[in-house]
Amino acid sequence: RKSVRGCVVGPDLATLSLVMIKKGAEELPGLTDDNKPRRLGPKRASNIRKLFALEKKDDVRNFVVRRELNDKKKKAPKIQ
């Protein structure tokens, strides 16, 4: 029997989808020891302003999250 947060989960399940609520004192190897940047960012201008706490007069094109394709190329979404 597997138990998750008070619920009994069947033994026939191969994987469980879990969310970390609280981080302990030690790092978990492969899970909490490295930081991964966000691959995709918001596409709408209002969501970009909300993410970076910008004002209406700030230019959102400077704050678009870009992802790297190769060594030299970077790609950014079209802003709506």
Ranking 14-23, 51-60, 61-70 by mean pLDDT, the lowest is 14-23
Please state the pTM of the whole predicted model.
0.55
- Tell me the pLDDT tens digit for each residue of 9-49: 777 777 777 777 888 888 888 777 888 777 788 999 999 99
d(CA 17, CA 6): 15
Q: Which two tokens stand for residue 30?
A: 């492969």
DSSP H or E segment with residue 47: helix 45-52
∠ CA 31-32-35, rounded to 5°? 100
For residue 4, pLDDT over 70 is answered with: no
User: How confident is the model at residue 6, as a pLDDT?
Assistant: 64
